[in-house]
Structure 1
Amino acid sequence: MMFKQLTLAAAVALAASAAAAGNTSFDQFTPMVGDVGEATLPEAAPYRLAAPHISQMTIVARDPSQAGRFDSGNYDMHTVNESGPEAGRYLFTVYETSQAGIQRTDLRTMQTTTIWAAPALGSHVAFDASRWTPWGSFLTAEESWSDPTQAPSNYGRLFEVTNPLAAPADIEFKQRNILPRVSHEGLAFDKKNNLYFIDERNGSHIFKYTSMQPRADNGDDFFKAGQTFVLRVGDGMTKEATGAATWVPLTDAMGTPLPGAVVVHGNEVDGRATPKLAAFRGTAFDRPEDVEIKTLGHHGKQLLFVATTTNHKVFAIDLAKDEVKLFASRDTIDMATGAPAGAQFTNPDNLAIDADGNIYIVEDQPGGIEDVWFAQDKDNDGVAEAIGKWASLSTKGAESTGLYFDPFKPNVAYINVQHPDSDVDRTIMLTTPCSKSEREGDHGRDHDRD
């Protein structure tokens, strides 16, 4: 048995280091074992990386005094301006704090600007998501919402910056209240421009918003009218079930709450309370967090990946078949050992997809024991054959957030180091040499995405 395990480990490690690197060489690495240890590396270069050809560099470092600009810290998710004028030039991230905000880094000049800041402590809190829209704006949302036993809070809101490349004084910032109030984390659009989101809480749910104008060229029209659904797997009675699923409506096609839905703040659905009712029952997941969508080949099949933290699982949902599978868990094989990953794989939180469609899973753990895992799913069936440690964070008191692979530069990625004991949050740029296909003229556009 030991021989078989070691043989499998060697085979999987070899596959990882020789993965089909059509667009990127991030997937060429030797899976790591063990923990990096707390504060064993400098904060400016805080990652132990699984390949010597991957380099790291701080491109943003927070000034705790905020002498030059408002920067409340707790950097979270990333996106670049994925379309429109000067596409790919600017990197956006948000502040997950009690006085939230949005910053923009010019990747040509490496100058960072706070483009929007909450006007007062507690007015806007815990921004988490960063998502570029199909029509060229920026979305974020609050990872904060009240439990049904409490009075409804003012939070759980989705916001749009309609002109994210504008000067800070000209930024237009709008609340989009057609979505239910939830504790937001990930946001993702599919190829039909359905918008997927979650409520980050034990025993909570996964949602879909379908606009009446899915091809709208502005947020006013996209969010003017649309229907929200909650995911139900089977009969909805089994927590974190897999198998055939349906989408249960919470509103009508215009966005009006259906009779019996729990309504807050006038006419908004309580996205935490309503799916617990029998008429709207959704399948419960324990702390759903980030979401990402992978498009497979030219036929356009799409998988929605959802990280659920409490029970150490990542799920994959086939959006054409409405079928849910367990993508990765502690039972998934560790590339480095050939045995189940076990407790080495803990608290999956953020997700990212590289230019070749590989999934990366970022743990929510303290620096010293926190890892970023590469997930291998060669046949793209939504079940990972193995996972391997790809990066490990050493910074004391910190966690990694916002891993994002640059869609214009397939050998560049960005990751944030959030809430370190030093209070110096950082954005780290990861780079790796061009893959063979790039050197031969393939400039790295993602052939597996829309």
Structure 2
Amino acid sequence: MRRTRRTRLITAALAVGMGLPLGLLSAAPTSAHGHGHGRSHGGPMAFQPIEGSAYDRMSADWSEPLVAPQGFRQKLVADETVLDIYGGGTDDLTDMNTVNETGRQAGRYLYRTHEVSSNGAVSVVDLKTGEAKVIAQRADWRRLDGVRWTPWGSLLVTEETNGGRVFELFLDRRDRTEVTRIEERRQLGILRHEGIDVLPDGTVFVIDELNGGSVYKFVPTRRGDLSEGRLHALKINGLSDAAQKWNPETYGEKTGAFTWVPLDKEQVLSDADAASDAVNATEFGRPEDVEVIGDTLYVANTSENRVVAVNLRKNVLSAFVQAGVNAPVEDRAAGITGFKSPDNLAQGPDGRLWIVEDNYASDIWVAGRDRDRDGAADSTELFASLKDPGAEVSGIYFGKDPKTLFFSVQHPDKPLADGTWKITRRR
């Protein structure tokens, strides 16, 4: 996930022109659709939303990285004082996180990607002992980003770069900190990969992280074997070929029924973006992460300031969270908190969607359920905000403990602080 510092501010005049409620530009609301600052109905992670972003609390001298609700404790998992992979003042760029979700000692080992430009690495932290080590590293790995545990017990990691690839890491069944084999999975497309998710039946979802990127589904011939199958791209029905293209002025029109269009099996091995262009698949504004919850695939579209919901049962796409609709609009210059540049997604313990921004202060939001079934979250609440002015939060993830959220702090101003933390609701 690339650090972005957009300077365009949405003003009250623009809000009026767009027909947005002026209340969305008032001081730091933490929820929309009329919800106030009451206690969130978040199950094991229930919280009182914080008042706003950490604009006035920025400092590189911190003991805890987040402004967070009362009743939560932040604890370091591992930073560069524990494992310094690259040394010499070079950030490890700790990124996405996952644990061994199934099998023996499930939940004990936390796997992390490191988003450096070359000589990329995957590391593991033993959550029982605190020991950390590199389990895989290659000179040709570039900007390793996404990481997922598969239902059959391997790891999928992705490269967020031009010509990016997906790799499958097979682990020793007796020692989940040892990699026995690595396979490149070109069948999942050569793309600017970031987020990745896997269904129990073996279906894999990926994205192309750029303005004009598409959303993809890989259907394997056999569950658990990613060497054979077919990649598909999402295409919204009823739009002209021109309307399928990325346009920052018209992305809001990209909702409704869609079709998964099969792509040329040979072309995806070298350029899946070109393969999706050949069928005029729908283009979005920097789709970055994906998260499946139930029958819905959520996609964070950073340049659109929205998260879309892809109903996998009905094949309908809707705007689930969107700044100016069911989330506040940010005006940093005026000190107004808002929803901007959504980046990483996570399924919360009660099934709600957690969202972190690729933005100054890197706010963490929680989207409410869609109880009225209009395709949009009924509320958005602000859980936390990052204090370090040079950093961003990435890799939000819930493992086996429903009261613990893992997250990474990337490229902070604080020395040797690039690493992984957890925030836990007190028992």
Please classify the TM superposition score into its range, dividing by the shorter chain length. Answer: 0.7 to 0.9
Q: Let me know the Cα RMSD of the aligned residues.
A: 2.8
Indicate how the Cα distance of structure 1 residues 57 and 180 shifts in structure 2: closer, same or farther if over 3 A, else same.
Answer: same
What CA deviation, in whole Å up to 9, does each residue of 1:353-403 have, x standing for no partner?
Answer: 11101111110023xx32111111251734112212211001131100000
1:389 is aligned to 2:382: yes
Letter in 1 for 2:185: R
Q: Secondary structure at the match of 1:162?
A: strand
2:273 counterpart residue number: 272
Letter in 2 for 1:178: Q
Q: Secondary structure at the match of 2:144?
A: coil
Among 195, 198, 207, the residue aligned to 2:204:
195
Indicate how the Cα distance of structure 1 residues 249 and 111 shifts in structure 2: closer, same or farther if over 3 A, else same.
Answer: same
2:288 counterpart residue number: 289
1:12 counterpart residue number: 35
Among 226, 233, 237, the residue aligned to 1:223:
226
1:403 counterpart residue number: 396
Indicate how the Cα distance of structure 1 residues 65 and 327 shifts in structure 2: closer, same or farther if over 3 A, else same.
Answer: closer
Report which of the two has the higher share of strand: 2
Indicate how the Cα distance of structure 1 residues 65 and 416 shifts in structure 2: closer, same or farther if over 3 A, else same.
Answer: closer
- 1:372 and 1:389 in contact (8 A); partners too: yes
- 2:123 and 2:133 in contact (8 A); partners too: yes
- 2:194 and 2:289 in contact (8 A); partners too: yes
Measure, in 2, the Cα distance between the counterparts of 1:87 and 1:425. Answer: 26
Consecutive unaligned residues in structure 2, runs of 5 or more = 1-20, 332-337
If the length of structure 2 is used for normalisation, what is the TM-score?
0.82
TM-fit CA distance, 1:274 = 2.1
- 1:77 and 1:94 in contact (8 A); partners too: yes
Aligned-pair identity in percent equals: 30
Measure, in 1, the Cα distance between the counterparts of 2:208 and 2:130. Answer: 34
Q: How many residues are paired up?
A: 382
TM-fit CA distance, 1:71 = 8.9
1:125 is aligned to 2:142: yes
Consecutive unaligned residues in structure 1, runs of 5 or more = 146-154, 217-221, 296-301, 335-339, 435-450
Letter in 2 for 1:383: A
2:371 counterpart residue number: 379
1:350 counterpart residue number: 344
- 1:72 and 1:101 in contact (8 A); partners too: no
Measure, in 1, the Cα distance between the counterparts of 2:74 and 2:184. Answer: 36
2:329 counterpart residue number: 341
What CA deviation, in whole Å up to 9, does each residue of 1:68-114 have, x standing for no partner?
Answer: 99996111111000001111110011100022100101111111111
- 2:232 and 2:262 in contact (8 A); partners too: yes
1:219 counterpart residue number: none
TM-fit CA distance, 1:67 = 8.5
1:137 counterpart residue number: 154
TM-fit CA distance, 1:323 = 0.3
Indicate how the Cα distance of structure 1 residues 393 and 211 shifts in structure 2: closer, same or farther if over 3 A, else same.
Answer: same
Q: Secondary structure at the match of 2:394?
A: strand
Q: Secondary structure at the match of 1:370?
A: coil
If the length of structure 1 is used for normalisation, what is the TM-score?
0.78
1:113 counterpart residue number: 133
Q: Secondary structure at the match of 2:222?
A: coil
